[in-house]
Structure 1
Amino acid sequence: MILDCAIIGGGPAGLNAALVLGRARRKVVMFDNNQPRNAVTQESHGFITRDGISPSVFRRIAHEDIGKYASVAMKTDKIVEVKQEKDVFSLVTEKGERYQARKIILATGLKEILPSVNGLPDYYGKSLFSCPYCDGWELRDKPLVVISEMDRAVHMIGIVSNWTDDLVLATNGHAVLSGEQQELLHSKGIRVYEQKISELLGTEGLLQGIRFEDGVEVSREGGFITPAWLQAAPFGESLGCAMNSLGGLVTDEFGRTNIKGVYAAGDTSVIAPSQVIIAAAEGSRAAIGVNSDLTHELFHT
């Protein structure tokens, strides 16, 4: 049987796409290998009616919602191969199962590459985060650090300053600031530490301070990092989808890529800001794009 759509990825984007297509009575399969990027996240914020929800509870509720629609199948499996054969896509799972679909939605998300600081993963998701809009409120008015090895360090500092007046920047041995940027941060009372970080100080993932290789220490109670992003799966590139300068897939207002029949949603196409509510909305618009195009093809061919 040829399905209407295959959704690769079971995060907020894929889940919402499955919901919308299920409500449109489309035959859909969604693949989720249950390895979400936000596995370290304890609470998700910024989603009205779900502010503070844990990702596992969000996922459970989403599965319950989608389960009401019999035309949607949810598979706990990983897609390892996607090929386009004329107007049909063939998919192969890690378990060796094969599926065919007229359309595919890529909602595989991104992989984060954290700054190269020893021990940072122990603090990530507990007192160090990547999204101020998601976690800034919980760190409000605390002494914070931005750890960034990238040229968007000043932008992150500016955003984080909405939540605290006690803020420092650590570039971990990387010279990422211009002289003008150095002067700007100094004028705002923001200290800059360009020396390499020796270790993070704290217990059970709760940051207490930073020690640099020259012996300098600074007390901090949390902060934010600027990770690098990579596509979590290679399917967009292998299918020939155009990429933007940040590494996301280029899409139109309904999630369509430049390859007919291929749609992208969530972090796969929107690199930042990375919020649950934005990813879910991206999934909805891609699903509407899929349904609209399937309908158009039925009535105009």
Structure 2
Amino acid sequence: MIYDCIIVGGGPAGLNAALVLGRARRKIALIDNNQPRNAVTHASHGFITRDGVTPAEFRRIAYEEVLRYPSVEHIQTEIISINKIDSGFAVHDSFGRHIEARRLILATGLKEVLPEIEGLRPLYGKSLFNCPYCDGWELRDQPLVVVCENPHVFHMAKMLLNWSKDLVICTNGKTFLSDEQKKSLEAKGVVVNEQTVSSFMGHDGQLQAVRFADGTEILRTGGFISPNLIQTASMVDHLTVERNNSGGFSTDGSGRTSIPGLYSAGDVSYFMPSQLVFAAADGSRTAMSVNMDLTEEEFELF
């Protein structure tokens, strides 16, 4: 069997793409390894009608809706490789299966690389987060810490003042802030600490204090971490898909990559902002492009 489209990735982008293509009566293989990046998140916010939903509940509802359409098949497996073939694309999984389709959407998302700081992981997704738009409301007016090891730190600090005026900004040993930026933040009451963070201390997921390399500590009840984001779609590296400045796949604005028939949707293309609503919308737009391209091809043939 040759599918109309294989969708690799069962996050909001892949699921919304499957929904749109299923409703367009396309034969779809939705392939997912059931390892969502937001699995540690207690709730997702900013998506109208789903504000506060847990990632697990979001996926349950989404799969229930998508699989109502008989032409959509869900295959839970790990993709090993993807190759371009005459008829489209061939996907090979960890069970040795060979799956073919005329078109392919990459919706694999990104992988977070967190700073190697003792005590971070038990708190991440509970009182330490990465997105103020997702979790800033829940931490409003609390004493917060921000750990950011990139030039985005100044923007992050300014933005977080919308949620709390009690901020300590940590660059974890880096020197991205200029003297002018530091003075600007300090004038707003923001504390800047450029020491290395040695550990986070907390209990049952609740942050209590931050310890620095010199042994000093500050009391904090929550905060934000800026992880590095890297591609997870290594199975197409050999296809030399063009990349954009952020390392995502370059597209024409409608999901089409530099390789004919290969599309990308969601975080895998844009990296930021990493939110459900953005990814789902991009999945919908890309699916429409796939259906349009298939329709044009079929119309010419028949």
TM-score, structure 2 normalization:
0.97
User: What residue number does 1:164 align with?
Assistant: 164
Find the aligned partners of 1:158 and 1:288 in 2 and give their Cα distance: 38
**SS of residue in 1 equivalent to 2:58:** helix
User: What residue number does 2:123 align with?
Assistant: 123
User: What residue number does 1:216 align with?
Assistant: 216
Find the aligned partners of 1:230 and 1:87 in 2 and give their Cα distance: 30
Gaps of 5+ in 2: none
What percentage of residue pairs aligned between the two structures are identical? 54
User: What residue number does 2:66 align with?
Assistant: 66
Find the aligned partners of 1:177 and 1:190 in 2 and give their Cα distance: 13
Gaps of 5+ in 1: none
User: What residue number does 1:76 align with?
Assistant: 76
User: What residue number does 1:145 align with?
Assistant: 145
**Superposition map of 1:1-301 within 5 A:** 1-301=1-301
**SS of residue in 1 equivalent to 2:270:** coil
Task: Kindly provide the CA deviation profile for residues 69-98 of structure 1, in whole angstroms up to 9, marking residues without a partner as x.
Answer: 010000110111100013410111111111
Deviation for aligned residue 1:236: 4.3
Deviation for aligned residue 1:215: 2.0
Asked if the contact 1:87/1:261 (under 8 Å) is kept, the reply is no
Task: Kindly provide the CA deviation profile for residues 138-175 of structure 1, in whole angstroms up to 9, marking residues without a partner as x.
Answer: 00111111101111111111121111111110111112
Q: Which amino acid aligns with 1:241?
A: V
**SS of residue in 2 equivalent to 1:121:** coil
TM-score, structure 1 normalization:
0.97
Asked if the contact 1:236/1:249 (under 8 Å) is kept, the reply is no
Asked if the contact 2:266/2:278 (under 8 Å) is kept, the reply is yes
Task: Kindly provide the CA deviation profile for residues 221-251 of structure 1, in whole angstroms up to 9, marking residues without a partner as x.
Answer: 1111111110012134332211112111111
Find the aligned partners of 1:225 and 1:247 in 2 and give their Cα distance: 21
Q: CA RMSD in A?
A: 1.1
**SS of residue in 2 equivalent to 1:122:** coil
Q: Which amino acid aligns with 1:104?
A: L
Asked if the contact 1:253/1:285 (under 8 Å) is kept, the reply is no
Find the aligned partners of 1:181 and 1:207 in 2 and give their Cα distance: 27
**SS of residue in 1 equivalent to 2:223:** strand
Asked if the contact 2:119/2:201 (under 8 Å) is kept, the reply is no
Find the aligned partners of 2:248 and 2:168 in 1 and give their Cα distance: 30
Find the aligned partners of 2:204 and 2:215 in 1 and give their Cα distance: 23
Asked if the contact 1:106/1:236 (under 8 Å) is kept, the reply is no
